[in-house]
Amino acid sequence: MKRLLCLILILVLSVGLLAACGKDPGTAGGEGGGNEPAATPEPTPEPTPEPYNAQLLTGYEKDSSYPDNQRPVAIMFNNLIDARPQNGLSDAEIVVEIKVEGGITRFMGIFDDWSDLDKIGPIRSARDQYLKLIMPWQMLYVHDGQSVVVDYMVRDYDYDEFNLKQVGSFAWREKDRYNWAGKTNLATEHTEYTDGEHLADYITDQGVDTFRDYGESTFFNFVDYREPARQLSGDEVTVAEQVTVQHSSSYRTRLTYDSSLNLYYMSQYYGKSGYLDTIDQNNDQQLAFDNVVVLFTDIYTYPEYREKDLQYVDYDFGGYGYYIYGGKAERIRWVKGVPEQALRLVQLDGSTPYEINCGKTYLAVVDLDEFNNFSCEALTTSEG
């Protein structure tokens, strides 16, 4: 009997021990589940990138002050030596220089916001080689007078609304102005100016349509402002710390690289005086650019306008050129075509878009006859 009670007691203890071993000691109430895997945390979603929202003329990101969906203005500047220094060119996002009649050049400054411009000028007349660059973008075009070819283009392409030629309504003359040499009593064509207030009043009075939605389009193909600037390298890249662009024997522009600021500073040829800094008389600052773009093509006199020496710039077939940035130059190609088609830079394969870095740009369109006078060089110690 005693042995039987012992066996019963051992059996009861064994059953209790087995039950205890089936419990999770860390779980209240003795329930199982201790061997189940821990819950996987939800992955943190990647932040949605801000949409690409670049400025039309520089490729930088638009800020709250940017005049979104507003047509830029392109203004013709006199560049005769007696007319220098100009006013307002340092505010332009793009400065274009091309040869006109007599071997001289003019500047076209392109501004994304014309409403608050300081004094601009001296203003000069329009030429079709400039109009063809801005026509695809339907920019406002400001000038005093125009060639007969521009007359035809404005009529044929229905551009009259954006062709702001009634200068008497938005400009004034400063007959007592002085030039770089301190000379006064200048020729009348060296004395005409405008500003943002006069332009805005004229545009309002004339009911000019200033709205245009450019979407994500930009004048050049710019490197995405959310990415680092592109550094030039490869077989087609050469040193370009001093760049000389010759438009004719008397009109030459030099761009000198400042590595501390990563900018190219402009100077121009003044004959016996050599190269002098190109200064904006509004602020006494030398013109400076992030990018330099030099494009070569045939330029010759219109056969039917030989007496006026009007220059025809051949945009129809494209050509070769150089993109210059950061002390280096890279050989590129460019295409355009008919006036309604925008200028595009492409890689040497002739089709792949070529990107330039964000910033202000000096754009030169140069006669192929001057190709051998174009140079990109290293700065010597004395020049540096």
pLDDT digits (tens, 9 = 90+) for 139-165: 999 999 999 999 999 999 999 999 998
pLDDT, residue 38, reads: 67
Strand-pair category, 319-325 with 328-335: antiparallel
Question: Cα separation of 62 and 68, whole Å?
Answer: 8
Q: Are 108 and 96 in contact (CB under 8 A)?
A: yes
- Examine the pLDDT at 1 and tell me if it is beyond 80: no
Task: Quote the longest CA-to-CA distance of the chain.
Answer: 142
Q: What is the pLDDT of residues 38-91, one digit of tens each?
A: 677 777 777 777 889 999 999 999 999 999 999 999 999 999 999 999 999 999
Range 103-120 average pLDDT: 96
**pLDDT of amino acid 381:** 59
Question: By the 8 A CB rule, do 33 and 26 touch?
Answer: no
Handedness of CA 4, 5, 8, 9 (dihedral sign): negative
Q: In a 10 Å sphere around its CB, with 0-12 CB exposed, 13-18 middle and 19+ buried, how is residue 21 labelled?
A: exposed
Q: Which two three-digit tokens encode residue 67? A: 């005049």
Summarize the confidence of residues 167-179 as an average pLDDT.
Answer: 89
Q: Which residue has the tokens 């009670």?
A: 5
Q: Please tell me the predicted confidence (pLDDT) of residue 153.
A: 97
pLDDT of residue 13: 38
Q: What CA–CA distance (Å, rounded) separates 52 from 134? A: 23
Q: How far apart are CA 62 and CA 341, in angstroms?
A: 25
Handedness of CA 90, 93, 97, 101 (dihedral sign): negative
- The pLDDT assigned to 193 comes to 96
Q: What is the mean pLDDT of residues 240-249?
A: 98
pLDDT, residue 27, reads 41
Does the pLDDT value for residue 32 go beyond 90? no
Q: In whole angstroms, what is the distance from residue 356 CA to residue 257 CA?
A: 17
Cα(97)–Cα(247) distance, integer angstroms = 9
DSSP 8-class letter at 162: G
Q: Is 167 left (phi over 0), alpha (psi -120 to 50) or beta?
A: alpha
Average pLDDT, the chain: 90
Asked if 128 and 147 touch (Cβ cutoff 8 Å), the reply is: yes
Q: Tokens 């740009």: give the residue.
A: 361
pTM of the model: 0.87
273's tokens: 């005086």
Per-residue pLDDT tens over the stretch 94-104? 999 999 999 99
Using CB atoms within 10 Å of the CB of residue 317, give its burial: 0 to 12 exposed, 13 to 18 middle, 19+ buried.
exposed
With the CA atoms of 155, 160, 164 and 165 taken in that order, what torsion angle do they form, in degrees rounded to the nearest 10? Answer: 40
Which segment of 35-49, 88-102, 181-195, 239-253 scores lowest on mean pLDDT? Answer: 35-49
Distance, in Å, from the CA atom of 77 to the CA atom of 144, rounded to the nearest integer, reads 10
Residue 311's Cα: distance from chain center in Å? 26
Nearest alpha-carbon partner for 71 in 159, 140, 142: 140
